[in-house]
């Protein structure tokens, strides 16, 4: 469990993190979203006990990170931003070093090292020094280090940055597999990742929480939520037909690919009406899609609103 | 092995030898120590079986070489970001600082120990006072420790290794010169004797000189212990303050 209360960090007059409070329970995978410089990493660094908060508290499994730092650190696995490690060490030695400091011994140690090596596909690079590895491998070594002691709480700062699509998929599968009874915070720029691994998302900008919801509910805030998009052979006719439907508020055409989107009136559903009209008027379409909402659009409108608000 | 200090110490010491830096350092140290002793100290020409000149030059040798060991202690951790990894593992700040300092000191100790052939040589050539030589080795090791502790603290202040090197060398120079006869005689002409003594007693030079002459005085040991303790503790304070900058 992770709990922060009014957590703040100031650098001189600048508030990097400004009174953030939230609670994450076991079983939750929390996605931290926000523009660069929003305070995501600083918040994670404070929970991990690396940056000292200016005010407020952070607790990991009930241990205050300032007054009981060792207990908090023992319960925590942390992948810092950029996955730093000791470049001159081989992967095997590095994992041994972390296992030593984590107090892993005997069969349990062998089993855990075997687990991370297998799940992060490190077997082929164990004897290579870390500085000779590609960015993707270094990231996976950082992840291996973070989950080595099978922590109850996991904080991962951009865990899939620099990985190729296959590796991203593997890491997401790994996070999902660990999610069951653990508390996990993941920060990311990649919005599709929120769907893939998170069951809760917090949007941060300028050091403040702007939204805290499930990914589905965040998507529902999008004006695209419930809209119907389609590609028709005769764009003009299709547009006219759709515009005549009572519950359709407006119809837009993407200037690039001529895709038509019909937006419903507030609280209405138009999918059935749209498909009926298409059938009745014999309009040929190559695809029809019910939009769930676009997270990137919600993200932009939330964070831009905050930027405008803060402007004097 | 479960003590964090021992674990970090082992990792650090191994990291010195993971790159050619360690070997280059040791070779340069041995060559310079030899050159100073044989040429500047006229080892053979003097015809005396002692290591007086060998140890005489140690403070100046350390001035150049010890900051080269200490400069990377924390600057590199901060620059590469590994400090964030280290300090979010279950270790305390003081454990990390002490372990890294001890590893650097052990490395300096290894370099110093490798000068043993000269001790053998002087025993082969004559009949030296081995007690004095042993004391001087202890003093030299303590002096290296003191300069390393200064360097540990100063390397925590910057992520630039060159700055760490230069500042450590300058501060160490001041700490040496404060007790050098030349300086003592000069400030003695303008300051009262009490102040001169106080300044001299803070100097690494004064305390190394007295041990080098073969007298291991408790006051000198206490001085080096306090110097090392103070600067290592100061390192922890500085890192705690600057780690995330």
CB within 8 Å of A296: residues ≥ 6 apart: A191
- Sorting pLDDT into bands at 50, 70 and 90, what band is A307? low
**pLDDT for A135-181, tens place per residue?**
889 999 999 999 999 999 999 999 988 888 988 998 899 999 899 88
pLDDT at residue B36, rounded to an integer: 85
Interface contact B91, partner A, CB < 8 A: yes
Question: How far does A105 lie from chain B, in Å, by closest CA?
Answer: 9
CB within 8 Å of A217: residues ≥ 6 apart: none
Cβ distance B8 to A78 less than 8 Å, yes or no, reads no
Interface contact A161, partner B, CB < 8 A: no
Q: Which of A14, A17, A88, A144 to mutate to test the interface with B (most CBs of B within 10 A)?
A: A88
> What is the residue-level pLDDT of chain B in tens, covering all 245 positions?
569 999 999 999 999 998 888 899 999 999 998 888 888 777 777 777 778 888 888 999 999 899 999 998 999 999 999 999 999 999 999 999 999 999 999 999 999 999 999 899 888 988 889 899 999 999 999 999 999 999 999 999 988 999 999 999 999 999 988 888 888 888 888 888 888 888 888 888 889 988 988 888 899 999 999 999 999 999 999 998 887 66
Q: What is the gyration radius of the CA atoms in chain B, in angstroms?
A: 19
Nearest to B244 among A50, A82, A102 (CB): A50
Interface contact A92, partner B, CB < 8 A: no
**pLDDT for A80-97, tens place per residue?**
999 999 999 999 999 999
User: To 5 degrees, how large is the angle CA B232–CA B234–CA B236?
Assistant: 75
Cα–Cα dist B106/B112, whole Å: 10
Helix (H) or strand (E) holding B245: none
Average pLDDT over residues A123-141: 94
Whole-number Cα distances in Å, B132 to B52, B101, B223: 9, 27, 20
Cβ distance B7 to A80 less than 8 Å, yes or no, reads no
Interface contact B226, partner A, CB < 8 A: no
- Greatest CA span in chain A, whole angstroms? 73
> Which neighbouring-strand residues pair with A60?
A2, A63
B64-80 CB burial, b ≥16 within 10 A, e <16: ebbbbbbbbbbbbbbeb
Whole-number Cα distances in Å, A17 to A11, A308, B81: 10, 18, 21
- Sorting pLDDT into bands at 50, 70 and 90, what band is A282? confident
Query: How many residues make up chain B in this entry?
Result: 245
In chain B, which residues have their Cβ closer than 8 Å to the Cβ of A103?
A: 2, 90
């Amino acid at each position: 469990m992770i709990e922060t209360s009014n957590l703040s960090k100031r650098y001189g007059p600048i508030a990097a993190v400004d009174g953030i409070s939230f609670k994450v329970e076991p079983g939750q995978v929390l996605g931290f979203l926000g523009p660069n410089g929003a305070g995501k990493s600083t918040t994670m660094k404070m929970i991990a006990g690396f940056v000292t908060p200016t005010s407020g508290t952070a607790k990991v499994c009930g241990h205050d990170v300032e007054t009981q730092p060792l207990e908090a650190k023992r319960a925590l696995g942390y992948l810092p931003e950029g996955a730093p490690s000791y470049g001159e060490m081989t992967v095997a030695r590095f994992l041994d070093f972390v296992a030593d400091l984590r107090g892993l011994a005997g069969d349990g140690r062998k089993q855990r090292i075997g687990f991370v090596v297998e799940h992060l596909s490190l077997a082929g690079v164990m004897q290579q020094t870390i500085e000779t590895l590609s960015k993707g491998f270094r990231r996976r070594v950082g992840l291996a280090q973070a989950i080595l002691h099978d922590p109850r709480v996991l904080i991962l700062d951009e865990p899939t940055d620099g990985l190729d699509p296959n590796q991203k998929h593997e890491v997401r599968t790994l996070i999902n597999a660990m999610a069951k009874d653990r508390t996990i915070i993941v920060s990311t720029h990649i919005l599709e990742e929120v769907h893939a691994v998170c069951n809760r998302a917090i949007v941060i900008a300028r050091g403040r929480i702007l939204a805290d919801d499930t990914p589905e509910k965040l998507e529902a805030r999008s004006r695209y939520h419930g809209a119907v998009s389609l590609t028709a052979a005769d764009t003009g006719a299709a547009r006219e037909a759709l515009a005549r439907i009572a519950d359709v508020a407006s119809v837009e055409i993407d200037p690039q690919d001529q895709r038509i989107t019909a937006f419903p009136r507030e609280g209405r559903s138009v999918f059935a009406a749209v498909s009926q009209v298409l059938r009745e008027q014999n309009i040929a379409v190559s695809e029809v899609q019910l939009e769930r909402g676009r997270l990137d659009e919600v993200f932009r409108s939330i964070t831009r609103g905050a930027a405008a608000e803060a402007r004097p | 092995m479960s003590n964090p200090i021992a674990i970090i110490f082992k990792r650090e010491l191994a990291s010195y030898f993971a790159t050619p830096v360690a070997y280059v350092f040791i070779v340069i140290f041995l060559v310079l120590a030899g050159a100073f002793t044989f040429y500047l100290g006229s080892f053979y020409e003097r015809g005396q079986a002692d290591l007086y000149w060998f140890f005489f030059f140690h403070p100046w040798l350390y001035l150049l070489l010890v900051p080269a060991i200490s400069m990377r202690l924390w600057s590199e951790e901060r620059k590469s970001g590994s400090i964030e990894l280290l300090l979010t593992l279950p270790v305390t700040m003081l454990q990390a600082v002490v372990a890294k300092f001890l590893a650097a000191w052990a490395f300096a100790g290894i370099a110093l120990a490798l000068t043993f052939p000269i001790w053998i040589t002087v025993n082969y050539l004559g009949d030296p006072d081995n007690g004095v030589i042993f004391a001087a080795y202890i003093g030299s090791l303590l002096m290296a420790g003191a300069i390393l502790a200064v360097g540990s603290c100063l390397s925590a202040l910057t992520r630039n290794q060159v700055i760490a090197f230069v500042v450590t060398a300058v501060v160490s120079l001041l700490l040496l010169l404060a007790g050098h006869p030349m300086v003592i005689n000069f400030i003695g002409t303008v300051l009262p004797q009490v102040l001169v003594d106080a300044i001299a007693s803070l100097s690494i030079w004064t305390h190394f000189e007295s041990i080098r002459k073969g007298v291991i005085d408790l006051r000198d040991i206490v001085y080096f212990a306090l110097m090392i303790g103070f600067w290592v503790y100061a390192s922890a304070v500085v890192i705690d303050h600057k780690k995330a900058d």
